[in-house]
Structure 1
Amino acid sequence: MPLNDERPSSTSSGEDQGSDVESEHCSSMTSSSDTECSRESFTSDGSSKPCTPSSSPPKSLTLDEVMEAERDLSNLSLTHEITVNPNFHLEPDSLPQNSLWKMVRDNLHKAFWDILESELDDDPPEYGQAIKLLEDIRESLLSLLNPGPNRMRTQIMEVLDMELIRQQADNDALDIQGLASYIITTMGKMCSPVRDVEIKKLHESTHNNIVTLFREIFRVLDLMKIDLVNFNIQNLRVVLKKHSVEYEREKFQNILDKEPSALDHTTLWIKSAVQELLSSSEPTEQTQGPGKGQRVLPGPFQILHTAFLSLLTWEFDKRPLPETWMTDEMRVRELGRQLEQTQALNEVLLIVYSTVGGPIQGLSALSDRLKRMTSVLLDGMHRPGFNPQEALEGVSAQICCELNKSLTERNYPALSPALQATLTGQICSITQKDNPIRTLVEDRVQQYFMGLICDPKATLEQVPAGLTAIKPELATLGERFVSLVNYNKSVYGPFYGNIIKTLLFSSPPVANPPQDSAQHAVAPN
């Protein structure tokens, strides 16, 4: 922990943001020469024979191996979070009010401080608990210093010499109030600027009850430990960003070595993308021969892009996320929620402007009011108990009220009851999956995100027609999603390459693969 001239600044919390680590392209995946590939045939209707990447046969794991795999997974998750989330930091422990753990902890702490107060109130005072307390404080102070000998460490060891303190206690000559003042002064020299107010309060409390003072000292020491950890995380982030791809890939390989099934969900995820592409492709035009009526195999980039796009509409309650995306599960969930809410907002606005038409066209202030109002009413649409039909009825009522106000102010007739009923019905109908406005918006949003994934030069602000009202929101979500995709591709590209080669080429070929086939696209840089 730096001293006076090296005091760390405080960290602040914030929403998760995507990593700004630049991606390696899918070319970071292993080349076809790395492994021998057999081939797997796909039928003309797009189905395929089941297959999984080659791996060693299942084996029983020892407890040590299980624990080591758990440590690898923990290190992988922590490293990834520090790298991709610039606002990641630790917060002091906070147990829920009225929880059993909080009650147990509070009772234990109260018992300790009650014993300390009872001993110090004895005549003559007993210092058994107080000496243990001072010893803990000394170790906490030493843990906050940089490793190696320095003047501050030497001074702490001299002032808080436990052998000398025990001798003073035995002779009833222990100046515990003076030791508390020294501890607070030392803490002030070691703490980050954000704790200066806390240290000032401690200095002002030295005349208070000594037990209360020591309780506050321990509370502030705990905060200083968190500050030190967050300061180290900030410094570590710079190093991790340089080596995070190799480190995460190595840690995941360690997990895969111990548990060969650690890519099962990832394989199913990529296989679903292959089958989706095959089912939508045209059969070959050969009239005879072994390739007659079969479909051209998709290229690896096409497969990966389709798989990545499916994450935006992932149904978490129906199937688990691919293992290679588990460290980003919360980010993927939040992106999906925000995207769905943004799409609903755009659908409502499209219905309003297509139904009412000319009298409200070109009014940016009205458009902004309608957008803000609808966003507020649709907020939390993914929370349990949210009633979308009821919310959309409320949206419709507020929109009709706002439209009537705007129309009458500009000498237009208010919306007729029949038109208001039509508008309300159309807005409420977007809850139906086959609603044409909903289908249109969802298709164009998918088109927008696919363009961002496929083309590194695609601009975030260039949105398809009909999505102009949500362009700022789409740009924000697009930037975060592309950042996650590029980083994920850089780390797990070799694993994806092996899975794709196994899926496409595990039995005799049935069609000539396209030019960007796996053996060309997976060559490393």
Structure 2
Amino acid sequence: MSDENNEQKFGGTSDPQDTGTGPRIRTQSECSITSDDGAQGSSGKRQRTTSAQFMVSSGMTAASPPKFVTLEEIMQAANGMRDMALVHQIVVDDDFKLQKVDPPPNTLHQMVNDTMKKAFWDLLRNELGEDPPSYTQALVLLEDIKKGLFAVLLPQHTKIKQQISEILDGDLIKQQAENGVLDFGHYAQYVISVMAKLCAPVRDDKIKELTQTVDVVDTFKGILETLDLMKLDMANFTLQMARPDIIAHSVELERKKFADFLAVQTDGLEHTTKWLLRHVDKNETPPSNSASYENFIRYVVKKASWEAFIDLLDWAEGEPYPETFMIDETRLRDLQMKTNRLTAVGTILLVTLSNAGPDLQSIAEFKGSLKDHITILLQSVKTDKELKEALANVAEQVINDVKEAQRKYQLVEMDEVSEAVLRQQILSVSDPSHKIRGLVRQRIKEFFMDIIESSTAAPQKVPTGLTSLQRELAAIAGQFLRIISHNNTVFCIYYYDIVSAALPKPA
């Protein structure tokens, strides 16, 4: 195994945008634990369709004949998970937008792509430069542009579409070319005028640039590039308009796609089961009557889920994520990294302020500036090794900030001994077992837990000593809360079944 794989991730598993106004965690009592449509049987008992699917897929039932799946079924499930991933991304990310995908730089794909484009434009330039000009490529180009304009029109743009069809009429343009009267530049200016009416304001500068371009080939090249951006703008606009409907149906869609996944995936909840049951006391005695047992299971699921969610912020490198969070793995890794980094910033702040004296501790401007400088120096840190390497520069910056503040506010400047002590304390923050670092991390996790457990949208108190990090804490908490809230709404039916299968039944 390489050194890179052995390297401890920043923050390790040290001991223990919105701070309560975001989406709430759906408790077990709030989510459906019946079949997907929430229907009740004629006897009033819960229909355990989903539970049955789970029990079969996780191997918790008695032995049964082996089930075989076709390659087509597997591919359909894989495609379904991709659809589910896109819907999930739209739901949990307010800023989600479709992006233009370019070939990776310095790759064969990019080289072929660039070569093909250059060949087309060179051929067009050569044809237009002939005497008389040849318009073979020009006619193809105008037809492509016509389709591109149609792609950025809204359904109500019927008159504009009719006008475009009349002016960019393929047969008419072909006749003009055959008769030697085709004004290629005139069509370019017409297309630009239409684009100016249809484009988003962010593309106005590009349209202005096109109107000032003299070379006709460069003009059409810019037209195609701008049309691609306009199509992307239109797609994102459509997505924004459809977002409320997507969110409204996302839970049903994700449950269905995940059920399809479980149908072809052997033991498809293996890691989810291990993760959740780590937080369940299997020796806890359930009540004897059925009604109380139901409420007991709901309580245990809720409590275990909350603790398990927080556990995701301390996830060990290389350990498989729960299957119910596999779409969020990248987002959770990013939030874990941000939490670890914020823990280091908070630790250095506490260490510094405890050495700087009470006078500087009360100056908000100094604390804000100090936090910003530390954050900048640690912004690329990802591992404990990188943290250790960065702390020398952090220590020098912190000591310099403290001295400047002491001079600015006419306070007694720290001596060499105090400076050496502060430097050493900052350097020791790289130790994963650092007591203050562990305390800061525990306070951050408790803050997140308070938000998850809160039954209201009331603001939560920022942990003691971390008020300077309120904005950063709120940003991480908001993103984390959105992910786990949606996840719990979708998958709480599985969490209920996992817990109820692991606990003893009532007598």
| Structure 2 residue 490 is the aligned partner of structure 1 residue 491 | yes
Give the distance between the partners of 2:105 and 2:433, measured in 1 at CA: 45
Please state how far the C-alpha of 1:453 moved relative to its aligned partner: 1.4
Which residue number corresponds to residue 30 of structure 1? 33
In structure 2, runs of 5+ residues without a counterpart are 1-16, 35-44, 53-57, 286-296
- Partners of 1:461 and 1:374 lie apart in 2 by 25
Q: Kindly tell me: are residues 120 and 297 of structure 1, through their superposed partners in 2, closer, same or farther at Cα, counting changes over 3 Å? A: closer
In structure 2, relative to structure 1, the CA distance for the partners of 1:347 and 1:58 (3 Å cut) is farther
CA offsets, 1:215-265, max 9 Å, x none?
A: 112111111111111111111112223222222222222322333543232
State the match for 1:41 in structure 2.
none
Identify if the C-alpha distance between structure 1 residues 92 and 447 changes in structure 2 by more than 3 Å, giving closer, same or farther.
Answer: closer
Query: By how many angstroms is 1:104 displaced?
Result: 1.5
Cα distance, 1:445–1:209 mapped onto 2, change above 3 Å: closer
| 1:298-351 CA distance string (max 9 Å, x none) | 811111111101011112x22122222233223222221121111112222222
Shift of 1:272: 2.7
Structure 2 Cα separation of the partners of residues 401 and 455 of structure 1: 42
1:284-433 map, 5 Å: 299-315=300-316, 317-358=317-358, 360-382=360-382, 387-407=386-406, 413-433=412-432
Task: Describe the shift of the 1:341–1:57 C-alpha distance in structure 2 as closer, same or farther (beyond 3 A).
Answer: farther
Give the deviation of 1:395 after TM superposition. 2.3
Report the TM-score when normalising by structure 2: 0.80
Cα pair distance change 1:75/1:54, threshold 3 Å:
farther
Residue pair 2:339, 2:476 contacting (<8 A) in 1 also? yes
- 1:194 shift after superposition: 2.6
The equivalent residue for 1:454 is 453
* Contact 2:103–2:109 under 8 Å retained in 1: yes
Q: Within 5 A, what are the aligned runs for 1:209-248?
A: 209-248=215-254
Residue 64 in 1 paired to residue 72 in 2?
yes
Match for residue 101 of structure 1?
A: 109
Secondary structure at the residue paired with 1:299?
A: helix
Answer whether contact 1:82 1:237 (CA < 8 A) is retained. Answer: yes
| Superimposed CA distance per residue, residues 60-114 of structure 1 (whole angstroms, 9 cap, x where no aligned partner) | 4433323322321121111122222222112333344433322221111111111
Query: Structure 2: which amino acid aligns with 1:30?
Result: I
Q: Is the 1:17–1:86 contact (alpha carbons within 8 Å) kept by the matching residues of 2?
A: no
Kindly indicate whether the alpha-carbon contact (under 8 Å) linking 1:17 and 1:85 is maintained by their aligned counterparts in 2.
no
Residue 382 (structure 1) shift:
1.0
**Alpha-carbon contact 2:395-2:423 (below 8 Å) kept:** yes
Percent identity, aligned pairs only, is: 35
Q: Distance in 1 between matches of 2:138 and 2:20?
A: 48
Among 125, 135, 144, the alignment partner of 1:127 is: 135
Quick one: which amino acid aligns to residue 134 of structure 2? E
Report if the CA contact (8 A) 1:380-1:386 is conserved: no
How many residues align structurally?
462
**Partner of 2:8 in structure 1?**
none
Cα distance, 1:430 vs structure 2: 2.4
Equivalent-residue separation in structure 1 for 2:247 and 2:298 (angstroms)? 36
Distance 1:102 1:16, change over 3 A: farther
Native 8 Å contact 2:347 2:436 kept in 1: yes
Q: CA shift at 1:496, angstroms?
A: 1.6
Partner secondary structure for residue 279 of structure 2: helix
Q: How far apart, CA to CA, are the structure 1 residues paired with 2:156 and 2:418?
A: 79
Bigger mean CA deviation after superposition, 392-401 or 23-32 = 23-32
**Retained in 2: the 8 A contact 1:117–1:211?**
yes
Cα distance in 1 for partners of 2:487, 2:259 equals: 15
Distance 1:108 1:84 in 2: 39
Distance of 2:100 and 2:264 partners within structure 1? 34
Mean Cα deviation higher: 445-454 or 354-363: 354-363
Cα shift at 1:466: 3.8
Structure 1 residues 147 and 411, CA, compared in 2 at 3 Å: closer, same or farther?
A: closer
Aligned CA distance change for structure 1 residues 360 and 194 (closer, same or farther; 3 Å): closer
CA contact (8 A) 1:17 1:480 kept: no
- Name the CA distance, whole Å, in 2 between partners of 1:464 and 1:220: 49
Distance change (3 Å), C-alpha of 1:181 and 1:395: closer
More deviation, 333-342/119-128 = 119-128
Q: Confirm or deny that 1:117 pairs with 2:130.
A: no
CA contact (8 A) 2:81 2:257 kept: yes
For 1:368 and 1:307, the matched residues in 2 are separated by 33
Following the alignment from structure 2 to structure 1, what is the Cα–Cα distance between the partners of residues 153 and 373? 53
Q: Counterpart in 2 of 1:92?
A: 100
**Contact (CA 8 Å) 1:19, 1:86: kept in 2 or not?**
no
Contact 2:21 2:457 in 1 (8 A): no
Give the conservation status (yes or no) of the 8 Å contact 1:359–1:407: no
Residue matched to 2:293: none
Q: Which amino acid in the other structure matches residue 442 of structure 2?
A: D
Deviates more, 1:165-174 or 1:405-414: 405-414
Alpha-carbon distance in structure 2 between the residues aligned to 1:443 and 1:18:
19
Q: Give the corresponding residue for 2:14.
A: none
Distance 1:310 1:141 in 2: 50
In 1, the alpha carbon distance for the partners of 2:211 and 2:356 equals 68
1:410 shift after superposition = 6.1
TM-score (norm 1): 0.78
Residues 213 and 357 from structure 1, CA distance in 2 versus in 1: closer, same or farther, beyond 3 angstroms?
Answer: closer
Residue number in structure 2 paired with 1:79: 87
Q: Distance in 2 between matches of 1:465 and 1:220?
A: 52
Alpha-carbon separation, structure 1, partners of 2:212 and 2:355: 68
Alignment RMSD (CA, Å): 3.4
- How far apart are the structure 1 equivalents of 2:314 and 2:98? 31
CA 1:483–1:58 in 2, change beyond 3 Å: closer, same or farther? farther
Looking at structure 2, the residues matched to 211 and 356 of structure 1 have their Cα atoms a distance apart, in angstroms, of: 66
1:471 maps to what in 2?
470
- More divergent stretch after superposition (429-438 vs 254-263): 254-263
Cα displacement (A) at 1:381: 1.4
Query: Secondary structure of 1:105's match?
Result: helix
Tell me which amino acid in the other structure corresponds to 1:343: T
Q: 1:470 to 1:52 in 2, by over 3 A?
A: farther
Pair 1:21–1:439, CA change in 2 (3 A)? closer
Q: Is the 8 A contact 1:18 1:484 kept in 2?
A: no
Q: Which amino acid aligns with 1:243?
A: H
